[in-house]
Amino acid sequence: MKIFGQNIFGKATLVSEPASLELAKETVKLAESKKTDKEPIITGKSRRKISSKLLQERRLNIDVEMNVFQQAVYLAKDIDRPDRKPLYSLYEKIIERDAHLRSQLRTAHFTVQQSEFQILTNQSENKELKKLFETSWFTDFVTYATDQEFWGHSLIEFGWLYDSKFKDIKLIDRLHVIPEFQSVILDINHDVTEGIPYGENLNNWFLVEIGNKKDLGLLLTAIIEILFKKDARIDWAGFNEKFGMPLLSVTTDKYNETELDELEQFAANFGSNGYVIGSPETQFNIVQPQGTDNGHAKFKDTAEMCDAYISKLINGQTATSDEKSYVGSAEVQERVLNTYVKGRLSRIQRVINDKLIPFLTYHGYPLKDAKFQYIDLLKKEAIPTVTETETEKKKLN
């Protein structure tokens, strides 16, 4: 079978699929020896790497606007030809440009990455097997698994096997992935129906898929708040341009055009030079616009409200990032954050046990009957009672 002029399931050695578990597990031979940095040579049929076939292209350049967002959502949810490229391009832009959203995502990532874990066999901790996960690729895997909550879908490709162990992984570029069809398009300009299918042979493709095929992630909701905040800041800037600076009022009894031109030049240069020179008959007054002392408040409140909604969306609360709170309120919201973190850890733990460990076992890792366990999920945290909350309020009073 040919796709885009390439043999995909035929006899071509460069893209042929491993025919059996033995071929999928075949030991890697380095080009000259272990001292070389060259790409390893695989004997027999060559392993397919989807990432090596993707055409690297410039990202889509689209504006973060409400009408563009609405069209992107429509394309992403199209039943016959779902196209997430415009929506994911918007996601990339808002993460890059919105400092508050980026901060909240970093909080989510860091709280997961610093969580201790153990590997259990027969209900007992196995420190030797834990060493298999104390690697940089596993840190990357946890990052991708965390991102699935925000992006909606992640397709992870594992690298070459060295001494029967993986050394690296990478995320297949989401602009190339069509989750609904479980396929990958080599060129983002190709039709979404013309992708290479991977769904029936994930192990032989060295792929792990995370997330629901139709889920578009929490960033779908976050982008709405960012659009409102963007509009508020634009309006705020316009307000400041018109009313934020005091006005220079000039009163004169001069009627000579030359003298009036000189006064106009003085007034025009007043803001940059800091002074004007006029005759005794000319009065210069600084006039502060009336009713504008708190004119910025409505824009500021809108922007802060959008940030608060983003904080609640990502991490469930605002006290640890956005505002000063009473001791009792802050403690309650910190528990809410811990609840979100535990929920995140619980989801990632299931992904590791249900998908990652079976995948690693298939490729030769000695993880049969092994279970991954986050230690934080074994701890029981007391839920604040009404009595505790009331006690904190009394202390503050």
Domain boundaries, the chain: 1-48, 62-242+300-397, 247-287
Cα 300 to chain centroid, rounded: 25
The whole-number average pLDDT for the span 67-77 is 93
More confident residue, 311 or 45: 311
> Are 318 and 312 spatial neighbours (Cβ–Cβ below 8 Å)?
yes
More confident residue, 279 or 60: 60
pLDDT category at 294 given cuts 50, 70, 90 is: low
Radius of gyration of the chain (CA): 30
Partners of residue 171 on adjacent β-strands? 156
With b for 16 or more beta-carbon neighbours within 10 A and e for fewer, the 29-61 pattern comes to eeeeeeeeeeeeebeebbbbbbbebbeeeeeee
> Are 232 and 302 spatial neighbours (Cβ–Cβ below 8 Å)?
yes
More confident residue, 193 or 21: 193
Select from 172, 171, 165 the least CA-distant residue to 134: 165
The whole-number average pLDDT for the span 267-296 is 58
Q: Please give the pLDDT value at position 77.
A: 94
| pTM, rounded to two decimals | 0.70
Q: Please give the pLDDT value at position 361.
A: 96
Q: Please give the pLDDT value at position 230.
A: 77
- 33, pLDDT greater than 70: no
* pLDDT tens figures, 96-115: 988 989 999 999 999 999 89
* pLDDT tens figures, 158-197: 998 998 899 999 999 999 999 999 999 999 888 988 889 9
Q: Please give the pLDDT value at position 316.
A: 80
Mean pLDDT of the chain: 76
Contacts of residue 200, Cβ cutoff 8 Å, sequence gap at least 6: none
pLDDT category at 25 given cuts 50, 70, 90 is: very low
- 295, pLDDT greater than 60: no
Instruction: Report residue 151 as tokens.
Output: 């992006």
- 365, pLDDT greater than 70: yes
Q: Please give the pLDDT value at position 253.
A: 66
Report for 6-20, 239-253, 353-367: range of highest mean pLDDT: 353-367
Total residues found in the chain within this entry: 397
Give percent above pLDDT 90 in the chain. 40
With b for 16 or more beta-carbon neighbours within 10 A and e for fewer, the 85-114 pattern comes to bbbbbbbbbbbeebebbebbbebbbebbee
* Secondary structure of residue 61 in the 3-state scheme: coil
* pLDDT tens figures, 230-269: 776 665 555 555 565 666 666 766 667 777 777 777 767 6
More confident residue, 273 or 76: 76
- 345, pLDDT greater than 80: yes
> Are 331 and 389 spatial neighbours (Cβ–Cβ below 8 Å)?
no
- 357, pLDDT greater than 90: yes
Burial class (CB in 10 A: 0-12, 13-18, 19+), 372: buried
Q: Please give the pLDDT value at position 391.
A: 46
Q: Please give the pLDDT value at position 105.
A: 93
More confident residue, 148 or 284: 148
